[in-house]
Chain A
Amino acid sequence: MARQLAHLSDEALVLLAARSEEPALAELYDRYGRTAYGLALRILRDPALAEDAVQEAFLAVWRTASRFVPEKAKASTWILTLAHRRAVDIVRREQRRRADTLENAPEPAVEGVDEDAFLRLQRERVQSMLRVLPDAQREALELAYYGGLSQSELAERLGQPLGTIKSRMFSGLSRMRELMEEPGTEMSWTSTT
């Protein structure tokens, strides 16, 4: 049913979701739900919490689709930003609540995961871009994005001044951006193409 919308752009689907067209939300979930879940699981290390984060993110898409402004961001960026934000909110809340940190929970294993071939290719491309970065920049990006650490927590953890952390994050993301724009590394972010 939802696959009838498969030819639509992400942005058109968000506009339909803004009109409460449920199949459009279903199609967006089919395109990005798995990536959102993988991301939430990486951050939260707990399947039930990851499900909560993804559910909250897609309901935020549903509720706020009418405020999405296509000229400000790509729809995929917007959706995955919402998912990331929910997961980070939850990890910070849980870490305040618990004595042990979620960080000590095992990282989701790569082996044995029945991973979609296209998503695996995307993952390998991103990881190869990360490998190009200087270690300090990669570490800052990974601890912030996958670890949910704030810049102040990062500074404390790494024993570096806040200014150093800020510039590592900035340089790392800027370099990622350049790598994404290089010919041949251009990526299509939807899993349906």
Chain B
Amino acid sequence: MDVHDLTAAYALDALSPQETEAYEEHLGQCERCREELVGLSEAATALAFGAVAPAPPPQLRESILEAARAERTNVVPLPRRRWVERGAMLAAAAVACVAVGLGVSLSQSGPHYVTATLSVGSGGKAMLSTSGLGAAPRGKTYEAWIIPAGKQPQPAGLFRGGPDASLALRGSVPRNAVVAVTLEPAGGSSAPTTTPIFSTHA
């Protein structure tokens, strides 16, 4: 049996448990199959949208969320180091709330994880600090946005990124607003033109 041949069947879940095991082991060592699988899996998943989709019973949503709540044990500890430093900077402003966002950044070296810490002081003055965000590519800039609940995003300042970056946000952050960061053409945009790299609730 040539294991390379199993990619399409694997994408369709059409392998026996033994074949699945053998293929997954092979996948760990075969770059070509991993690449091929990405495309074939997307094609297979398109078939999911080909089935008639009646609304599920309304109680299913609550049942899932209830079960998830019951097993809320998978909390990932977040780096708090940044928060402590930036928090100290805002001490005079009496930090009212802190939110931490986690996102994915795409750079030349591929995607990697980014943490962003938002410290909001009294009066809505806020400091955003990021860690792990690569420097913005040539001709681009990072732009922060304040998105008050139910409103359009407001530009809140530009920054270059880099391993550890921070930005005092322009404007105040209302309660329940979302703060997001996007990559924009140099000079910034008046409204976001790309998907947020990350965003967090204030």
B68 contacts A144, C-beta separation under 8 Å: no
| New contact pairs (20) apart from A20-B74, A169-B9, A173-B8, CB-CB < 8 Å | A11-B104, A18-B76, A26-B61, A35-B51, A38-B48, A39-B51, A39-B53, A41-B52, A47-B57, A58-B68, A65-B74, A73-B41, A113-B54, A115-B53, A115-B54, A127-B50, A141-B47, A166-B8, A166-B9, A187-B46
Residues of A within 8 A of B19 (CB): 150-151
Using an 8 Å CB-CB cutoff, how does the interface string of B1-40 with A read, 1 for contact, 0 for none? 0000111110111111001000000000000001000111
Which chain A residues border B103 with CB–CB below 8 Å?
12, 15
Is B64 touching A59 in the complex (CB atoms < 8 A)?
A: yes
Q: Which residues of A contact B102 (CB under 8 A)?
A: 15-16, 18-19
Q: By the criterion of a CB under 8 Å from any partner CB, how many residues of chain B are at the interface?
A: 63
| A72 on interface, CB distance cutoff 8 Å | yes
Complex CA–CA separation, A71 to B5 (angstroms): 23
A8-B199, A19-B102, A177-B39 given as contacts; is B15 within 8 A of A62 (CB)?
no
What is the interface of chain B, defined by CB distance below 8 A to chain A?
A: 5-9, 11-16, 19, 34, 38-57, 60-61, 63-65, 67-69, 71-72, 74-76, 78, 102-104, 110-111, 113, 147, 149, 176, 178, 180, 195-196, 198-199, 201
Cβ contact within 8 Å between A19 and B75: yes
Residues from chain B with a CB closer than 8 A to the CB of A84 are: 13, 44-45, 48
Produce 1/0 per residue, A106-118, CB < 8 A to B. 0011100111100
| B163 CB to nearest A CB, Å | 20
Number of interface residues of A (CB under 8 A): 86
Asked if residues B46 and A63 are in contact (CB atoms below 8 Å), the reply is no
Q: Mark each residue of chain A from 129 to 155: 1 if its CB lies under 8 Å from any CB of chain B, else 0.
A: 110000000000100111011111010
Contacts of A150 in B (CB 8 A): 9, 14-16, 19
